[in-house]
Chain A
Amino acid sequence: MDYFGQLLANGLVLGAIYALTAVAYTLVYGVVRLVNFAFGELFMLGAFLTVSLMASEVQLFGATVPMPALSFPLAALVAIALTALLGIIIDYLAYRPLRKAPRLAPLISSIAVSVVLQSVAQTIWGSEQVHFPDFGLADLDPIVFFDSIYIRVMDIVVMAAAILAMIGLSLFIAYSKLGRAMRASAEDPMAATLLGIPVNRAIAAAFALGSGFAALAGLLYAQSYGFAHATMGFSARPQGVDGSSAGRHRLDSRRGFGRRAARPDRSLGRRLYAGWIRL
């Protein structure tokens, strides 16, 4: 029992972060039907930006740049905002010009964006794993259930944050004006345009939200495991020092999972969109 229970607990923590990533991923996929390979890089940037903002200074190309040394929640918020902004910029530069292009073109340009972001992150933050500073809660003793199932306080916080974020997002998509515009653009961009919905702005909003959530997932992940790494996001890289070839396809699993998680949102979207038309 304790063996199974511990595995169950482990799985729940991992699953909460996966699910959050999947939801964030789905947001963009659902609206523009783009398999966004650069998504993992935003995940990574969320973590790195948080680390940097929490530090008092960072080394940039050999020069020391003073940083604000924010507290964790504040740094996290700023990092999420910055990543969301980056999401919009990426959409504007690399995807929007290709909206009418053959379907594989944006896929390739998203791979290119992913490669660029990863290389840049490595130039800035180096190739080593960066220790993610422990937030006060991490030092608390793990909570022990039934004498044998250990769960860290931090993991509970991470899970709660992930679940809250997901609920918040669902409500936003379902009831806010922008959320409805996003769903309408997803269903039929042409019809949405005709109805006076600014489709490009809705898509940009989806990118911003999706990127922000990716950043949130990334920093929660980094917080849970205590490190950040330039390649933690997109790990479809040949793996292996010393002949090893290891697999880190979490993102791909997530990607697949995202697809599945996408369904309820979209069928919900369809119904609500029908409502929108009737209005």
Chain B
Amino acid sequence: MLLGLIEALGGGYMPDGSAYKDAISFAILILLLFMRPQGLLGRPELNSAGAGSLLDGVGSAGKGAIHALFGRMDAAFGWLAQGGWTIKFAALAIAILAGLLIPSDYWLRILTMVLIYGMLASGLNVIVGFAGLLDLGFVAFWAVGSYFTSILFVLVLKQEFGIDAQSIWWLFYANLVIGGLLSAFIAMILGTPTLRLRGDYLAIMTLGFGEIVRIVATNWIGLTRGPMGIPNVPAPFLFGLQVKSPTAFYFVALALTVVILFAISGLVRSYIGRAWVAIREDEHAAEAMGVATARYKLYAYAVSGFVGGFVGVFYAHYQLFISPLNFSLFENIVILMLVVLGGLGTFIGPFIGALIWVVFLQLALDIPLVQNFPEIRFALLGVILMCLMLFRPQGLAATARVKLTMPGAGMERA
């Protein structure tokens, strides 16, 4: 009731208040969570509710044929995850061949979208899958990267100084890093107040941050052109050649995917990754063992923010237009869904999730029933998602989860 009151009053007294009133609600929510994480009237120890690993738990295995199918799939993923460089190169080779051999531009676009969403999901996976922090504000980092490069290229360089994108083509590549760093920086700022929170409280707070970023992007028209979006973002150039065809974009996306995966896997296998997994499995034990949990949590935010910003920069130059519509809360949920669907804490999972999601949505367009009742498409998707979750609650590629435990440890869960 308080929220309704404050919303009405804030809306009434602030200039342009009604457009920002949702932001006001969220700001208050965040402030309250920060001051009294256990709720306005609750008691402090309740904040520990919802702690514990996000990954633990028993999955119900299906029966008969399904069981066998999943068993074979588990074995395959387990084998893939353990495979060395050969497997990785084979996967890369298949991806490259796909790019060269698929004649349909449409399918190349679909695969590019799979890679983009796969990369985003990988970024979110760092924080949710490896560090075990449920983050619902990830989309904000994606938005920051996209807006950063679009504002720089279109609104500043092109409109203020008349500089053509071709003459400074290298800036796109620099922006990938700068946009990533900017997002990482923002992620750390946003991450700091959330350090005290756990579980669902954390999710709500990050959700608030994510929405505030989007609401600001919608309403700060002077900076972002608001809902009108930023059109004519230049396509990237590679040594004077413009990346234009779907094939070219696919290969750029593939190259970026390799970079991202390489970087994340390097980090995860380092002591940082071990610290994340320790926090994920048991924060108190990790702390007791001398892991500086706050610092490593911030690292996780920074890395995931960097990936978000990095992909955001590419996304803006791929779609050549961005608007706040791209960064809705639903997108956020979609990305989280991809991670969970594919398997938390795996490298391949996010891409499998993205593949299912994007490809199904496109294929479903051709089902005759969907032609007559367009709403059915999402109902079907929902049913499939539900079935996948019921039969594979731990994610499709769960056996590919990166094992960072010592041999012999964690046997009881294996």
Contacts and interface: CB of A to CB of B under 8 A. Distances in A.
Contacts of B227: 240, 243-246
A100 interface: yes
Interface in A183-224: none
A50 interface: no
Given A8-B5, A252-B211, A260-B41, A111 B337 contact: yes
Interface residues of B: mostly helix, strand, loop or mixed? helix
Contacts of B11: 7
Interface range, A side: 35 or more
Most-contacted residue by chain B among A112, A236, A262 (CB, 10 A): A112
B160 interface: no
A171 interface: no
B9 interface: yes
A252 to B, nearest CB: 6
A97 interface: yes
A202 to B, nearest CB: 18
A253 interface: yes
B378 A119 contact: yes
B240 interface: no
Contacts of A106: 389
Interface stretch (A10-18, A65-73, A81-89, A133-141): A10-18
A125 to B, nearest CB: 10
A29 to B, nearest CB: 8
A247 B214 contact: yes
Contacts of B3: 15, 18, 253-254, 257
B385 interface: yes
Contacts of A175: none
Nearest to B201: A259
A96 to B, nearest CB: 10
Nearest to A124: B375
A17 B298 CA distance: 38
A79 B300 CA distance: 46
Nearest to A120: B379
A15 B12 contact: no
Interface in B377-414: 377-379, 381-383, 385-386, 389-390, 393-394
A264 interface: yes
Interface stretch (B52-60, B69-77, B96-104, B305-313): B52-60
Interface residues of B, number: 78
Interface in B190-227: 200-201, 203-204, 207-208, 211, 214-215, 218, 227
B373 A123 contact: yes
A259 B204 contact: yes
A3 interface: yes
Interface class of chain A by DSSP:
helix
A112 B393 CA distance: 13
Interface in B1-43: 1-9, 11-12, 22, 25-26, 29, 32-33, 38-43
Interface in A228-267: 236-240, 243-249, 252-257, 259-264, 266-267
B375 A119 contact: yes
B243 interface: no
Nearest to B328: A238
B323 A245 contact: yes
B266 interface: no
B288 interface: no
Contacts of B85: none
Nearest to A38: B382
Contacts of A109: 385-386, 389-390
A114 B330 CA distance: 12
Contacts of A266: 42, 46
Nearest to B58: A100
A35 B200 contact: yes
Given A7-B12, A8-B5, A238-B325, A119 B382 contact: yes
Contact of A7 (B9, B39, B324, B379): B9
A102 interface: yes
Contacts of B252: none
A263 B390 contact: no
B49 interface: yes
Contact of B228 (A12, A98, A239, A243): A243
A74 interface: no
A252 B389 contact: no
A11 B24 CA distance: 14
A14 B8 contact: yes
A11 B5 contact: yes
Contacts of A37: 333
Contacts of A11: 4-9
5 contacts: A97-B60, A101-B57, A113-B386, A116-B379, A263-B38
Closest 7 pairs (CB-CB, A-B): A263-B42, A15-B4, A15-B1, A101-B393, A11-B8, A105-B393, A263-B39
Interface of A: 3-4, 7-8, 10-19, 33, 35, 37, 93-94, 97-98, 100-109, 111-116, 118-120, 122-123, 127, 236-240, 243-249, 252-257, 259-264, 266-267
